[in-house]
Structure 1
Amino acid sequence: MKSLKISKGDRIFDIINYSILTIVFIIVLYPLYFIVIASVSNPTLVNNGAMTLWPKGFMLDGYKKVFEYVDVWVGYRNTIFYTVIGTILNVFVTMGVAYTLSRKNFLGKGALMTYIMIPMFFTGGLVPTFLIVKKMGLYNTPLVMIIIGAINIFNVIIARTYIQGTIPEELYESAQMDGCNHFTFFFRIILPLSSSIIAVLTLYYAVDHWNDFFNSLIYLSNKNLFSLQLVLRGILIQSNIQTDMLQAEDVVRQQYEAELLKYALIIVTSLPILVIYPFMQKYFVKGVMIGSVKG
């Protein structure tokens, strides 16, 4: 069988296309690469622009200084707890709501969908939310980091679209004839057949929890409950305050230490997600494609 002959125009198109994609790839990748090499380089050389492609003045003092803070380990512990427990709750609630909205014979489905979509465009505001959290006794407790944002309407739409488009209604009718109710059908059929969309939701929610800074800042005051993002912010602010209080001869040294910390903190915060994301990328792309079609 003869292979298809590629025309000259197609070859030129491919060359231009791959060239543009390569340039875009370098533009996107270089900032990440720069942060990595800057975190193990001499801050003075980094600030002077002496470092471009390779580390200069290799040193790990930034990482040593970061991990000298006990609060960093506390923040890691808290963030892992919030991410794991919060993501489990997020996925379970999202799949439950999505399954309910995917049922054709569910009365009031349209009204309920409109009702839960309203918060996508209008919210009660920060102050009313804070007052409700305070009145419910959730302020300054680990539960507030798990319950706040327990469901995302956009993710509900993605999950509902997946269930409607992937799991046929006839499957439920067949299960119903065997005496299967909605709860049994959801746990024994819907969840096992929805592993790919569950992976998508897990990725979305886990990244949100890991990067959550605002909720921790607003609803937590106990340092032992702070998330990693808030702990790292406190370290940077502390360095700046100390700089303002120092004598002139010590300012340069303190600024040097602040620069030493900056890039190491970025790596410490982002590394777990950067390691996990390549293995979950296919699910991320699938989630985008599912969410692009609203059924």
Structure 2
Amino acid sequence: MSSVTKKRLTFGDYIIYSTIALISMICLVPFLYVVSVSLTDPEVYVPFQFNLIPEKFSLSSYAYLLSTNSFLMALKNTIYITVVGTILNLVVTFTMAYGLTRKTLPGRKIIFYAVIFTLVFNPGIVPNFLLVQNLGLINSHWSLILVSLTNAWSLIVVKSFMDSLPPELEEAARIDGCNDIGVFFRIIIPLSMPAIATFTLFFAVAHWNTYFNALIYLTDSSKWTLQMLIKTLVIDSGSDAVGQAGATPEQATLPQETIRMASIVLSMLPILVVYPFLQKYFAKGVMLGSVKE
């Protein structure tokens, strides 16, 4: 009968755990404050008063935001960019990574070195803007999608993951009559589901949080993303950016701060909802491509 000995915590362990708990609280408190302000009833809201629990709960700020055309339009634009952009990111990244694993691909090493070159040297903002302008994509949602179809880091990680897959599976598929396309769809894709789930999260978060490219390429406010609208709410013109879409007199008197915080919470909510479903694939999908067996 084996006995399990309990490890006693040392003084250093207490310091480490206390430091981690302190850092966690520092990260958590601002988030709780934002949620608290967004849920505070306008009748009891006091500016610059720090409360982690609202004195009186109310969803009036959320109802106001979800009833305005500008917020709903920005939400629709962001969902469109995220869904279409993520799908295209996955298609381009995994097909190109698979092509780079084929030793029979002409110029494979040159293409791979070109990918690594982009990882080290970035052309910068001006060449990217001129490229988008010459392609006629200014003030188009495609300017936020096509300029970021993939990136060097994602390609290298996915290629390393595919290189780590057992070659015997591919040989068996070829014996059964599969060509390269058949191997990709019947062998590589099913085995790559953890990596696909991981990069789906990466790409979706990147597209959902698109701000800088939207600031540069989108000039029409009807095509703004959610992050652009929130920037206008929080920094530029307060709640007027949303209020222009029309609101009742009661909604128009809502405190600007509660509207700002509600917009921030609504922008974070979809990612917070999706993340737990992909979390179990996260660590596995990242680590699979790190070591070749």
TM over 0.5: yes
How many Å separate the matches in 2 of 1:79 and 1:110?
Answer: 37
Count of aligned pairs between the two proteins = 280
Query: What does residue 48 of structure 1 align with?
Result: 49
How far 1:188 sits from its partner (Å)?
A: 1.9
Cα distance between partner residues in 2 of 1:294 and 1:257: 56
TM-score, length-scaled by structure 2: 0.83
Could you say if the C-alpha distance between residues 216 and 29 of structure 1 is closer, same or farther in structure 2, counting changes exceeding 3 Å? same
1:27 aligns with 2:26: yes
Q: When you count helix as a share of all residues, which structure comes out higher?
A: 1
Q: Does 1:220 align with 2:218?
A: yes
CA distance in 2, matches of 1:26, 1:291: 33
Deviation at 1:262, TM superposition (A): 2.0
Question: Which ranges in structure 1 are unaligned for 5 or more consecutive residues?
Answer: 243-253
**Does residue 1:126 correspond to 2:125, yes or no?**
yes
The 2-side partners of 1:71 and 1:113 are apart by 44
Instruction: Report if the CA contact (8 A) 2:239-2:260 is conserved.
Output: no
Q: Distance in 2 between matches of 1:287 and 1:194?
A: 8
Matched-pair contact (CA < 8 Å) for 2:139–2:217? yes
SS class of match (1:184): helix
CA offsets 1:89-112 (integer angstroms, 9 cap, x no match): 100110011112223454543332
Q: Percent identity?
A: 38
1:163-188 alpha-carbon deviations (Å, 9 max, x no partner) = 112x2122222322333221121122
Aligned counterparts of 1:239 and 1:27: Cα–Cα separation in 2: 27
User: What residue in structure 2 maps to residue 168 of structure 1?
Assistant: 166
Amino acid in the other structure paired with 1:47: F
Q: Return closer, same or farther for 1:27/1:232 CA change in 2, 3 Å cut-off.
A: closer
CA contact (8 A) 1:157 1:294 kept: no
**CA deviation map 1:86-141 (0-9, x unaligned):** 10110011001111222345454333222112222222222222222122222222
Higher mean C-alpha deviation, range 205-214 or range 131-140: 131-140
What 5-or-longer segments of structure 2 have no aligned partner?
A: 242-251
CA contact (8 A) 1:62 1:264 kept: yes
Q: Which residue of 1 aligns with 2:194?
A: 196
Q: What's 2:249 paired with?
A: none
Q: Against the structure 1 CA distance between its residues 181 and 32, is the aligned structure 2 distance closer, same or farther, given a 3 Å change threshold? A: same
What is the alpha-carbon distance in structure 1 between the residues aligned to residue 40 and residue 84 of structure 2?
37
The structure-2 alpha-carbon separation of the partners of 1:48 and 1:30, relative to structure 1 and needing over 3 Å to count, comes to closer
CA separation in 2, counterparts of 1:189 and 1:231?
43
CA shift in 2, pair 1:137/1:294, >3 Å = farther
Aligned to 1:206: 204
C-alpha RMSD over aligned residues? 2.9
**What is the match of residue 71 of structure 1?**
70
- Cα 1:112/1:193, change in 2 over 3 Å: same
Shift of 1:10: 5.1
Runs of 4+ in 1 over 6 A off after TM superposition: 11-14
Whether contact under 8 Å (2:94, 2:158) holds in the other structure is yes
Deviation, 1:32, is 1.6
